[in-house]
Amino acid sequence: MVLERNKDISRFSAFKTPATTEYFFELSVRTEFDELVTVLAKIRELKLPIVYIASGTNCLFAFDHFPGIIVHIAMRDAYFTQENKILYLHAESGVLMWPVVSESIKTYGVPTLLPWVGLPGTVGGAVVGNAWCFWLETSAIVQSVEVLDTVTGEVAILKNNEMKYEYRSSILKWQDRHLVVATTFNLQYLQVDNPFTKMTIAEMQATRRTKQPPGLSCGSYFTNPSGTSAGKLIDQVGLKGTSVGGMQISPHHANFFVSSPGATWQDVLKLAELAKTKVRETFQIELHEEVRIIK
């Protein structure tokens, strides 16, 4: 039985703020699909909310107790194939990015995933949120996505263009019906001509460390408004280093909110509101969350 009740889920969000959920389902293998579909049918009858999460590195739990179900995607099978000299990665959605990134470079000598060295989170999270690092956006290498329709129990394959990729988003990001089962990546993606492409893994790790602040965060909190960056705007309104409760706008990078022990989801929302208000008043620009706020 994989359905649990009254589960502490604080560890499933990168902010690590306290949270519990009424129902929790850990999806580890495909043979659990039928059970999941049955459980979700009951949850829908009760008109309770359904949310899928993976590593939670892009999610804020904005509640003390979630009234519905959190489905944790933990299917972790992955393998590589080669056809006509092209390397393909086939990975289930709960596979962590880092080990497969490392294997594609070290074992197969293919540098396509190099910019993703140090990208936290899973394959499913990157595919749904169209993660982007340095010069590589997920949509550039997704060949096809296997999805489970949790209403009918059917599994289907979506082609890249059916994912309707946009900046940090896809057709699957703001819905609760389809979940990503697995993805096939085509790693032949042609490298753009830039000096980073010759970097080693260690150099890439060091580059990421210089650009991203330490501590517990969900990466960039806001998406970048067109033509500028959210971090620059928040910095220019003087909020770098500002704290609310246990949450701080990083003194190193103003679009990173860093959590310390005792931080609450209310602290995150208050800090975000402060940044949004100041930026709106000063620049007449509206900031929008990249982090998914789950309520």
Ligand X SMILES: Cc1cc2nc3c(=O)[nH]c(=O)nc-3n(C[C@H](O)[C@H](O)[C@H](O)COP(=O)(O)OP(=O)(O)OC[C@H]3O[C@@H](n4cnc5c(N)ncnc54)[C@H](O)[C@@H]3O)c2cc1C
* Active site positions, annotated: 168, 220, 290
Binding residues for ligand X, rule CB under 6 A, total 32
The sheet with strand 20-27 has its strands ordered as 3-8, 20-27, 65-73, 50-53
Rule CB under 6 A: choose which of 17, 55, 255, 264 binds ligand X: 55
Residue 111 binds ligand X, judged by CB under 6 A: no
Site map 10..49 versus ligand X, x via CB under 6 A: ----x-----------------------------------
Q: What is the DSSP letter of 138?
A: G
Tokens coding 268: 């995150």
Site map 172..201 versus ligand X, x via CB under 6 A: xx-----xx---------------------
Tell me which residues in 72-91 interact with ligand X (CB under 6 A). 73
**Of 31, 141, 119, 41, whose CA–CA distance to 75 is shortest?**
31
Place of tokens 């990134």: 101
As measured in angstroms, the least distance from the Cβ of 212 to ligand X is 5
Residue 104 binds ligand X, judged by CB under 6 A: no
Rule CB under 6 A: choose which of 19, 89, 133, 234 binds ligand X: 133
CB 270 within 8 A of CB 291: no
Which residue has the CB atom at the shortest distance from ligand X?
125
Q: Which stretch binds ligand X (CB under 6 A): 36-44, 104-112, 213-221, 242-250?
A: 213-221
Identity of the residue, 186 or 212, whose beta carbon is nearer to ligand X in the bound complex: 212
The sheet with strand 257-259 has its strands ordered as 243-244, 247-249, 257-259
- HSE on the CB side for 279, CA within 13 Å? 26
Residue 68 binds ligand X, judged by CB under 6 A: no
As measured in angstroms, the least distance from the Cβ of 106 to ligand X is 21
Helix and strand counts by DSSP (H, E) for the chain:
6, 16
Consecutive H or E run containing 106: helix 97-106
Task: List all residues 6 or more positions away from 174 whose beta carbon is below 8 Å from its beta carbon.
Answer: none
Residue 124 binds ligand X, judged by CB under 6 A: yes
Rule CB under 6 A: choose which of 36, 39, 43, 53 binds ligand X: 53
107, burial (CB in 10 Å: exposed 0-12, middle 13-18, buried 19+) = exposed
Residue 59 binds ligand X, judged by CB under 6 A: yes
**Which residues contact ligand X (rule: CB under 6 A)?**
14, 52-59, 73, 93, 119-122, 124-126, 128-129, 131-133, 172-173, 179-180, 212, 217-219, 292
